[in-house]
Structure 1
Amino acid sequence: MPTRFLKNWVRDEGYSVYRRVHERVHPSRPLRERLTNSVYRMQVMRHRLEDTGNRLAQKDRDMFNKCVNAQMAKQTDRAVIYANELVEMRKIAKLILRSQMALEQVELRLETIRDFGDVAVNLAPVVGVVHTIKNELVGVMPEVSYELGTIGETLNSLVIEAGDFTGEGYDIEATSEEATRILSEANAVAEQKMKERFPELPVAVPTAERVKSP
């Protein structure tokens, strides 16, 4: 990395007294410190998604049992109501699982970048993923969506700043492809976990629609 970038990547212990005083008035944290903070905030959001997903899974089990009991009691109309509610719950559950898996990949990428550098090139796809997840969660978990928006802004500023320091750009098309790949992998994992966690709805119960991939 260029010397100027390295100085901003890790705090230089040889700062003058003037620089130390100046930074107390106008603080500017080094890139690596801001990246570490973003990793922590991302972990917090992922854990919130995980907690919400676990609560949904429990509600799904309860609703599924009600659906089965209604069907066994020949209460078809009631069973249909429960089944359709399960479909809607599972749409949200899959979205949360997909978001959780995507953020896990983002975390791993951020940790790799933090430890080995290459911010401008490797961080850009992550920004796209965070932006996509933020938009998808806005109507489901608005607080998480908002926090992801602020994290995304921080990461985007890091990409721009790192590019200014190193003089390196990045291929926008390649970045978009990488972001799409990360989201596709997260979706595939989410689909598999949905099959493992949520039993098939009773075959005899008609529903408006089944859970589909977003």
Structure 2
Amino acid sequence: MKLGSWRSKKEEDIRTKVSDAIRKLEYHRREVETLRHRLEDRRVKLFDFIVYSVQRQERDRATVYANEHVEVKKIIRVLMTCELALTQVILRLESIRDIGDAMKEMGHAFSVIKGVGQVLSGLSTDVMNVQQDIQNTLTETMAELGQVAPTLTIDVNTSSGEEIVEEALRYLEGEIASKELPEPVNVAPDLNAFDRVRRTALLAAGDDEEDPFKIDVYQSKRSEPLEEAVSNYVNSKGGRLNVYEAAVALNAPLDDVEKVVLKLVNEGRIKVSG
């Protein structure tokens, strides 16, 4: 097998492995996302049961639902962290795959420039200066594509396209083997407002253990701005409430909206209908 064919096969093998890994990780990410959505729906239903129990003065029943509500929130937080971690791994692998494709094309470009340089070697200095400008531009472009090798000086007169691609492949293999991925961020920046509120609320407590639910915690003095905003929102909806939609409309953390709703219901200041 020729050296060029071997290198080409190696490039395709790496790309295939990376693409397969992306597909598998994306499948598992979707599974985690589906499970998270199911649990978020369950969280809403449990919260509704808490509210109805508080309105009926069934304190023990409300506490049972509330404790389960807390456990579901913990699981959601774990799933969210897992989902974000998988997303970051997928994004990194996609970048590695795409940068590898770009490096391959740049390698072909260097080969063409080298061939042109050999043809123009006997021509005027002005023509050779143009070739040097092209070489410099391509070298700078290669350096910007993931900073493949900052200390490497590429000369199209002495380096072949295959050698350039081989250098890029060695770098990418080293990245996959040794470079640690960054820690998952708490909230993805490209989410819409609805998901941002969900994720901010679910991850607001970080890794800290959540306190057991206590209805007594909401027996406080009235009149915080959020209380008035929640009260007006529920009244404007005719007593119907979806805490996710309320959190988005009020631009407030989901946990805070839930606590205020329970406080207002417990004090008899709002009545939530089914």
Pair 1:5–1:98, CA change in 2 (3 A): farther
Aligned: 1:166 with 2:170: yes
Aligned: 1:67 with 2:71: no
Q: Return the alpha-carbon distance in structure 1 between the equivalents of residues 38 and 29 of structure 2.
A: 14
Q: CA deviation at 1:175?
A: 3.7
Rg larger in structure = 2
SS at structure 2 position matched to 1:51: helix
Per-residue CA deviation, residues 180-214 of structure 1 (Å, 9 max, x unaligned), is x332x1x3447416378445243489xxxxxxxxx
Q: CA deviation at 1:82?
A: 0.9
SS at structure 2 position matched to 1:74: coil
Q: CA deviation at 1:34?
A: 1.0
SS at structure 2 position matched to 1:110: helix
- 2:67 is matched with 84
Aligned: 1:8 with 2:10: yes
**8 Å Cα contact 1:5/1:166 also seen in 2:** no
SS at structure 2 position matched to 1:182: coil
Pair 1:5–1:79, CA change in 2 (3 A): farther
Q: Return the alpha-carbon distance in structure 1 between the equivalents of residues 187 and 17 of structure 2.
A: 31
Q: Return the alpha-carbon distance in structure 2 between the equivalents of residues 87 and 55 of structure 1.
A: 15
**8 Å Cα contact 1:64/1:82 also seen in 2:** yes
- 2:39 is matched with 56
Bigger share in helix:
1
User: Quick one: percent identity of the two aligned structures?
Assistant: 27
Pair 1:166–1:32, CA change in 2 (3 A): same
Q: Return the alpha-carbon distance in structure 2 between the equivalents of residues 65 and 82 of structure 1.
A: 9
Residue ranges of structure 1 left out of the alignment (5+ in a row): 11-29, 123-161, 206-214
Aligned: 1:93 with 2:76: yes
Compute the RMSD of aligned alpha carbons: 3.6
- 1:182 is matched with 183
- 1:115 is matched with 98
Higher relative contact order (CA 8 A, sep 6+): 1
- 1:36 is matched with 19
The amino acid of 1:37's aligned partner reads: D
Residue ranges of structure 2 left out of the alignment (5+ in a row): 104-145, 147-165, 189-197, 205-242, 245-253, 266-274
Number of equivalent positions: 136
Q: CA deviation at 1:169?
A: 4.8
* Structure 1 segment 126-205 matched on structure 2, within 5 A: 166=170, 169=174, 175-176=179-180, 179=181, 181-183=182-184, 185=185, 187-189=186-188, 191-192=199-200, 194=202, 197=244, 198-199=254-255, 200-201=258-259, 202-203=262-263
